[in-house]
């Protein structure tokens, strides 16, 4: 990942490949944002006019490169659009800063060092710029990409390499708050990018066993307690949902518990992630054109994994336990059939009407097991339903919960950290649609409201009296269009920042 430094140097005198400045959309044309005063001075106060002549408007995500004037150490100035200029005495929103920094970092791929002179008025703003730049600089580098990793003289590899060093100007290195914000941004970005790597890995490189091994390696590195239940332990323990989904594959399933504890913690947060490392749909095979991106069906488990490691590295005063429900959903002679009845962990039985509704089966087992430890709250994260994508689009995840106040808190936290989310209901009348003549209930119901019905299914496995929320990240977990802001093509790391901030709020006692 790109290196991050804080600097008090002037944007005009710092040696770098490029200096990044912000430009906003004003009523009469582009307006140079705060932080770029030294650069504007080098342009004799005419930077805005030059940018306007080049067609820049200050629109969100717009980037304009221009040669730096004499007197500047950097040869290039990159102006990045921040969107509409804020009202007088108001500051740019953190998400606007985050996205602008990400757009700039992407535009400077292949550069060694860039200085970011964006408007940083306080530590939180500095953290937003740092986070956006580090996330925007992300580039998935396959393990076998020797040219990109080893041959620094390879011009093609260097051009595609992410920005190597990010210098944040105006960050006040001696100020503890600014330093802490930068350090937090670096940790969260690194772990979020780790989640992106996992989502982007080909399914033949990441199966349940290798995912579990990745968690074990992180446990050793960061002092986390990791327990892995293999197929024998799952069978013996009665994890019928995970075993039922995974039994059609040659790569057997796993349930991973990864735990971080703080000696002074007063609260415990359990995170549960759907980890289908490849989803063919099983016997209910997905139609042509719907299989190619199904390596991303473990994005929920990747988000949970990244959040637990982040909590540990940040030293948060809260206990955080991650449950990774890992399986590969494949059709074969041993696969679960539509019509089969599975006995889930805890004893409830489920009639499987559609083997492509498998995520709720592995999550059901994990939720029941997590409930046994009686945490203060449980949050599950899953690329669960296409219905949620139809309802909310590709950039917004749905938030459901058994407690209205907790649902509101999770939604507000997501909005605060820049993740688009929307609160969704769990209508009680939909439960009847899952009635089964041969089991306690079925894994499918009526088509209308099926994204909500999936949440109602999961609710059945949450322990009595435990506060719970469900995040359906099916839309934003994997981005197939052109990159924007700090969001790359491919795995996005959706929900990681929400989970980390939720852990921080729990540690601070802000959630009751």
Give the whole-angstrom CA distance, residue 466 versus residue 402: 9
Over residues 451-469, mean pLDDT? 98
When pLDDT is averaged across residues 409-428 and rounded to a whole number, the result is: 98
Average pLDDT value for the chain: 95
CA distance 162 to 436: 53
* Torsional sign, CA 222, 277, 291, 363: negative
The answer to whether the CB of 338 falls within 8 A of the CB of 428 is no
Catalytic residue among 286, 343, 348, 459: 286
Predicted confidence (pLDDT) per residue in 59-99, tens digit:
999 999 999 999 999 999 999 999 999 998 899 999 999 99
286 in catalytic set = yes
3-178 folds as: 3.40.220
pLDDT at 148: 43
pLDDT-derived band at 491, boundaries 50, 70, 90: very high
At 150 the pLDDT is 44
DSSP 236-298: HHT-HHHHHHHTTSSS--EEEEEEE--TT---EEEEEEEEEEEE--TTSPPPTTSSTTGGGGG
pLDDT at 89: 87
Lowest-pLDDT choice from 161-170, 220-229, 252-261, 279-288 = 161-170
Q: What is the DSSP letter of 28?
A: T
pLDDT(353) > 70: yes
Residue range 447-466: mean pLDDT, rounded: 97
Select from 107, 78, 106, 64 the least CA-distant residue to 19. 78
Q: Please give the pLDDT value at position 149.
A: 44
- For residue 144, pLDDT beyond 80: no
Q: Who's near 347: CB < 8 A, 6+ residues apart?
A: 238
The backbone torsions φ and ψ at residue 476, rounded to the nearest 5 degrees and listed phi first, read: -85, -5
* Average pLDDT rounded to a whole number, residues 218-235: 98
Confidence of residue 282 (pLDDT cuts 50, 70, 90): very high
Q: What is the average per-residue pLDDT within 37-51?
A: 97
- Mean predicted confidence (pLDDT) in 206-213: 98
Strands 421-423 and 397-401: parallel
Residue spans per domain, the chain: 3-178, 206-508
Calculate the alpha carbon distances from 288 to 245, 281, 490, 491 in Å: 21, 11, 20, 21
Query: Among the options 113, 360, 369, 407, which is catalytic?
Result: 360
Give catalytic status of residue 184 as yes or no.
no
Assigned CATH topology for domain 206-508: Aminopeptidase (3.40.630)
Tell me the mean pLDDT in the region 121-134.
96
């Amino acid at each position: 990942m790109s290196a991050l430094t804080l600097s008090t140097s002037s944007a005009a005198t710092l040696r770098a490949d490029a200096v990044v400045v912000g430009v906003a959309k004003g009523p009469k044309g582009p307006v140079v944002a705060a932080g770029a005063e030294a650069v504007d001075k080098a342009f004799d106060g005419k930077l805005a006019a030059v940018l306007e002549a080049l067609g820049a408007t200050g629109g969100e995500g717009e980037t304009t490169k221009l040669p730096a004037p004499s007197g500047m150490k950097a040869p290039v100035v990159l102006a990045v659009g921040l969107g509409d200029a804020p009202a007088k005495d108001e500051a740019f929103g953190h998400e606007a800063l985050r996205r602008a920094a990400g757009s700039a970092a992407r535009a400077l791929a292949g550069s060694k060092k860039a200085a970011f002179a964006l408007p940083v008025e306080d530590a939180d703003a500095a953290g937003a710029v740092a986070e956006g730049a580090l996330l925007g600089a992300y580039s998935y580098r396959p393990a076998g990409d020797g040219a990109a990793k080893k041959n620094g003289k390879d011009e093609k590899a260097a051009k595609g390499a992410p920005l190597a060093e990010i210098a944040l100007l105006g960050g006040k290195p001696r100020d503890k708050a600014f330093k802490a914000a930068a350090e937090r941004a670096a940790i969260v970005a690194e772990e979020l990018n780790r989640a992106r790597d996992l989502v982007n890995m080909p399914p033949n490189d990441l199966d349940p066993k290798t995912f579990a091994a990745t968690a074990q390696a992180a446990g050793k590195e960061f002092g986390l307690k990791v327990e892995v239940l293999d197929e024998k332990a799952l069978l013996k323990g009665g994890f019928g949902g995970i075993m039922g989904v995974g039994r059609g594959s040659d790569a057997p399933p796993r349930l991973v518990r990864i735990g971080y504890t703080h000696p002074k913690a007063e609260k415990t947060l359990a995170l549960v992630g759907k980890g289908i490392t490849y989803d063919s749909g099983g016997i209910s095979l997905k139609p042509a054109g719907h299989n190619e991106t199904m390596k991303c069906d473990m994005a929920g488990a990747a988000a949970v994994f990244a959040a637990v490691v982040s909590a540990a590295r940040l030293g948060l005063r809260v206990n955080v336990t991650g449950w990774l429900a890992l399986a590969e959903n494949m059709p074969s002679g041993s696969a679960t059939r539509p019509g089969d009845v599975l006995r889930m962990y805890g004893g409830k039985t489920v009639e499987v009407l559609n083997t492509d509704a498998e995520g709720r089966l592995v999550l059901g087992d994990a939720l029941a097991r997590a409930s046994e430890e009686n945490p203060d709250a449980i949050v599950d994260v899953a690329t669960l339903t296409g219905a949620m994508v139809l309802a909310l689009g590709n950039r917004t995840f749905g938030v459901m919960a058994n407690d209205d106040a907790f649902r509101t808190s999770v939604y507000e936290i997501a909005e605060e950290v820049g993740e688009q989310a929307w609160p969704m209901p769990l209508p009680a009348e939909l439960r009847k649609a899952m009635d089964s003549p041969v089991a306690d209930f079925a894994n499918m119901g009526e088509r209308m409201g099926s994204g909500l019905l999936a949440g109602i299914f999961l609710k059945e496995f949450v322990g009595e009296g435990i506060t719970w929320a469900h995040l359906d990240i099916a839309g934003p977990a994997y981005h197939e269009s052109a990159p924007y802001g700090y969001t790359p093509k491919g795995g996005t790391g959706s929900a990681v920042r929400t989970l980390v901030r939720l852990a921080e709020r729990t540690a601070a006692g802000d959630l009751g």
